[in-house]
Amino acid sequence: MKLARLMLLACALASASALAGCSSDMNANTGESANASASPGAAPSPAAQALTEVERPQKIKDMMAARGEEDNAKPALKIVEPKEGATLSGSTVKLKLDLSGDLKGYKPHKDPATGMGNHIHVILDNQPYEAYYDLGQPFELRDVTTGAHTIRVFPSRPWHESYKNDGAFQMVTFNVRGGGDASKATTASTGEKMADNTGAVNKAISPVKPGSNATAATPAASPAATTEGKDYTQPSNAGQVDRSKPLLTYSRPKGEYKGDDTNAIMIDFWLSNAKLQDVGGDYRVRYSVDGGEAKYIDKWGPIWLTGWAAGKHTVKLELVDKDGNPVENGGYNTTTREITVTK
């Protein structure tokens, strides 16, 4: 105890370059640090970074305690629309969900004060999820391209940790006819494309074009619109997913992390038709950050990693068999996302 406190003090006083060494010493895991700094694969990392798995942050433990029974809810979702196998006309897909099960007070809702709250994660194809808060009205997926698509949904807590009970996860496969044309997305094939497929950074400020067709432009452009939804500027189609086979659904991390939230970043996923080793299964979830050393998750639950350097990072998550071979299912079982850490 005394030694740890001394080292902490030493670390605090040490230079930035020595800090990485301190953190690995503190965790009695010297081999890991040596690997990380020696690995040529660590090149894309914006700065020296040694990630360490840590326990659930106290902030989240406190939130769980405050939620009481709600945290042990077993929410069950049903996808009311679109229907399995449906063919839809047009590039806007309306998603309607029905929430039931043993809710213990669980209810999706965004607190206007904090901007946080229980919500549903909605995943089109294998794109990053979108948050859906008010199930009272449909969630609009806009600029969906022509062809086959999947939507996956599951309930989440305010800190984005998913509920993992039976019935929480649902998936639907459907077709879009007359939707956006992925190959022509940059040329505004619908005539009202709010942003092209390379202009994701402009999305948040996409203006209403004067004289544009009101019915197409209104839901996407108006910041005051109450309809929740997402403009899919990155065209995609469904993978050849077999719903009876093992399926790993990437959920977190996603997007930008700032301030306090960068201290410990959560990896969280949904697992269907596959048991991990802790319950006697054959499967493992493998992750790597910035193309670095592969690590394994053998128990289905969130993990938290600390030690992130400021900048962009890639997080790769994949489902592998007991020999470490990737388990293929429509391309969904291996997913790499970029996140941004802002200190």
Q: Find the shortest distance in angstroms from Cβ 156 to Cu ion.
A: 4
Partner residues linked to 309 by β-bridges: none
CB of 244 to Cu ion, least distance (A): 27
Query: Is the CB of 160 or the CB of 230 nearer to Cu ion?
Result: 160
SS3 of the chain: the string is CHHHHHHHHHHHHCCHHHHHHHHHHHCCCHHHHHHHHHCHHHCCCCCCCCCEEECCCHHHHHHHHHHHHHHHCEEEEEEEECCCCCEEECCCEEEEEEEEEECCCCCCCCCCCCCCCCEEEEEECCCCCEEECCCCCCEEEECCECEEEEEEEEEECCCCCECCCCCCCEEEEEEEECCECHHHHHHCCCCCCCCCCCCHHHHHHCCCCCCCCHHHHHHHHCCCCCCCEEECCCCCCCCCCCCCCCEEEEEECCEEEEHHHHCEEEEEEEEECCCEHHHCCCEEEEEEECCCCCEEECCCCCEEEECCCCEEEEEEEEEECCCCCECCCCCCCEEEEEEEEEC
Q: Give the residue with the Cβ less far from Cu ion, 155 or 246.
A: 155
CB of 271 to Cu ion, least distance (A): 17
14-21 contact pairs (CB < 8 A, 24+)? 17/48, 20/48, 20/49, 20/50, 20/307
Q: Which residue, 132 or 174, is less far from Cu ion as judged by CB?
A: 132
Residue with smaller CB distance to Cu ion, 160 or 284: 160
CB of 130 to Cu ion, least distance (A): 9
- State which residue, 169 or 174, has the beta carbon closest to Cu ion: 169
Least separation in angstroms between residue 155's CB and Cu ion is 10
131/151 with CB nearer Cu ion? 131
Residue number of the CB closest to Cu ion reads 160
- Residue 234 Cβ vs Cu ion, minimum distance, rounded to whole Å: 19
Task: Kindly state the smallest distance separating residue 257's Cβ from Cu ion, in Å.
Answer: 13
Query: Residue 228 and residue 241: Cα distance in Å, rounded?
Result: 27
Which is nearer to Cu ion, 160 or 193 (by Cβ)?
160
- Gap between the Cα atoms of 124 and 112, Å rounded: 26
Between 93 and 123, name the residue whose CB sits nearer to Cu ion: 123
Q: How far is the CB of 266 from Cu ion (least distance, A)?
A: 10
Least distance to Cu ion from the beta carbon of 158, Å? 8
Asked if residues 163 and 73 have their Cβ atoms less than 8 Å apart, the reply is yes
Task: Say how many C-beta atoms besides its own lie within 10 A of residue 78's C-beta.
Answer: 13
Q: Which residues bind Cu ion (CB under 5 A)?
A: 131, 156, 160
Q: Which is nearer to Cu ion, 238 or 266 (CB)?
A: 266
